[in-house]
Structures are given as structure tokens and as C-alpha cells.
Amino acid sequence: MITKHLISRDDSIYQAWPDVTLTPSGKLVCVFSECTHHADRSYTRIVLTDSTDRGRTWTPKRPLSEPTHGRSFWNCARISTMRDGRLVVVVDKSCAQEDAAAPRQQRNYLFFSDDEGMTWARPVETPAQGIVPDKLLELATGRWILACQYKDGGLGCLVQRLWYSDDRGGTWQGPVIVAREKGLNLCEVSILPVDGKLVAFHRENSGMGWDCYKTISTDNGETWGGVIPFPLPGCHRPVAGMLHDGRILITHRFMQGGKGWVGWWTQNFFAALTDRESALATSRNEAHTRILPVDFDRSPVSDTGYSGWVQFEDGE
């Protein structure tokens, strides 16, 4: 059964692009963006809220970042719980609009908390250049992976890249190309460890309603194979994770393509179940998915579908 609970409502500001993590004590911490509007970043701020009752009720939002009022703006935050119990938020900050920005104008910062999100250290700038980062991924080896996208002017398409660190963020290697394909705009990656490999699930952003695409690494993210279509049509902002029973859950926005933007393209929030064999398959026909409608935004100016998710020990 699906139940819906209000995290934050503030009719004075646009609130969007949430993510959530589960802390060692069982608390949920949700991070999201405030801005004037999706298409107007004259004001931005990253905020947080907590829940101690599995998401039924939430604290009033509080700031993580300072607000911006001008050309530079915060964009899209992601949150993770590290193996040492710390929380980390990664968020991109741009000095120009996406299509006009050079990679150096799109920086990514890490915010760390030692007390389950009650207080936060000052942000640490990383060498990652691009927008809409994936969660900071910590592999079993201890390697950190930070991925984001940029517009390749020569190719004329979006390209997904990553940086990695083997000393807990002291130094970074990269960029590594995760996915670059003529004719495809590959972005908003979600990287998932699967049986000793890494599978990167990508949004395709040509506005055609095309499949999700994936790439696979067998060396902890240092090199990546070719682009493979995956049977999630119209998949935007995939968020992939492993369930306790070994299945894979991917939440995503469904974007059918055609003419439109808010109110036409962005009404539906879906989830999909798949398995390890499908994630590692080398062709679309070898993979299967079970697609589950989660929510429909009935607003005439709907703009939904970005998500985060966790699973509690008892399966909820």
C-alpha cells in the first residue's frame, strides 16, 4: 500500500528536487532546493528537514546553504549516509545557465555532518565540474565516486563524467567518461554496485521519450563500456538502489516527449523493479522491468518526478 505524507509546503517559494537518507539511529533526513521557479534562479537555497516517525511527520525546514541572489545559484542536492555514520550532501552551484555554461562555471560542493544532520561543516569544493550530481557513492573498497554531467560543445550533447578518490576526498582522479554518445543526451546518472561491477543508469534528455540508457564498469569506475538501452521508456532522473531481497528498485519521472514542459511533460512519478541479471545484461532484450505508477501531479503546471528513497530494516 502506498501512503502519501507532506514533507514541506511553502506557498511563497518553489520547492523541488528532493533526496533522502536513513541515518544510523533510524532518522530520515531530506534535502531539497528552494528557488524562485524552475526556470528562474534569481534566488536559491538548499534546505533540510528531518523525520523520526518514518516520514509521517517532518520538522520545519532549515537552511543548509546560504541563499543566493544573483548570477550564481545552487541547483540540485543529493544526500548519503557514509559507512562511518557521517552524512554528506553534494550540491552543484552554477554561474551561468546550463546551455551557456562552461564546465568550470559548474562546481560541486560537499557538506558533511557528524551528528545526523543537526550541524554541518563548511562546504568543501571538489574538482568535479558539471551539474545534477549523483549521490556521493562509497564503494566497499573505500573509494568515493562523484559523478555529474556537462554539455560537450564539440559533440553537441550532454556527457556524463565522474571523479574518484581513494583517500576519502583528500585527492581526486578524473574526469572519467561514464557515457558519451553522439545523438544522445546522457545525464542525471545513478550509479549502482551490482555483483562486483558498477552499473550507471542515465536519463536521456532529447525530449523524445526514449529509454533509459546504462553503461557498465568492471574496474570500480575507471573505465566504462558502451551505451546500452534499458527498458524504462521516458525515464528522467533515475534513482537506483538495492532492496533487501536482492531486487533493484529505480524511481524516476516519466517523460513521454512531444511538445510541452510544465503541465505536459512532468505529471508522472514512477518506480520500476528489476534484477541483477537485467542490470548487467548487454542488450535491451535481455533485461526486464516491472513499472509501477507512484504518483500523478494533477496541477495544470505540474512539475514532479525527482525523488529519493530508502528502505527500513523491516522492509518498509
DSSP 9: -
Q: Tell me, what's the pLDDT at 96?
A: 67
Q: Tell me, what's the pLDDT at 260?
A: 83
- State pTM to two decimals: 0.96
Q: Tell me, what's the pLDDT at 287?
A: 98
* Residue matched to cell numbers 505524507: 5
Give per-residue burial for 60-86: e unless 16+ CB within 10 Å, then b. Answer: ebeebbeebeeeebbbbbbbbbeeeeb
How far apart CA 71 and CA 97 sit, in angstroms, is: 9
Q: Tell me, what's the pLDDT at 115?
A: 98
Q: Tell me, what's the pLDDT at 100?
A: 55
For residue 217, list its beta bridge partners: 198
pLDDT digits (tens, 9 = 90+) for 3-35: 999 999 999 999 999 999 999 999 999 999 999
Q: Tell me, what's the pLDDT at 56?
A: 98
Q: Tell me, what's the pLDDT at 95?
A: 82
Q: Tell me, what's the pLDDT at 98?
A: 59
> What is the distance between the terminal CA atoms of the chain, rounded to a whole angstrom?
10
Report, as ranges of residue numbers, the positions in the chain whose pLDDT lies below 50. none
Q: Tell me, what's the pLDDT at 101?
A: 59
Set out the domains of the chain in order of their start, with CATH numbers. 12-133 (2.120.10.10), 137-310 (2.120.10.10)
176 class by beta-carbon count within 10 Å (0-12 exposed, 13-18 middle, 19+ buried): middle
Q: Tell me, what's the pLDDT at 212?
A: 98
DSSP assignment of 72-140 equals -EEEEEEEEE-TTS-EEEEEEEESS-GGG--GGGEEEEEEEESSTTSS-PPPEEEEEESBSPPPPEE-T
* Of residues 80, 78, 73, the one with CA closest to residue 34: 73
CA angle 167, 163, 115 (to 5 degrees): 55
Q: Tell me, what's the pLDDT at 264?
A: 87
How far apart CA 131 and CA 173 sit, in angstroms, is: 18
Cell of 261: 514542459
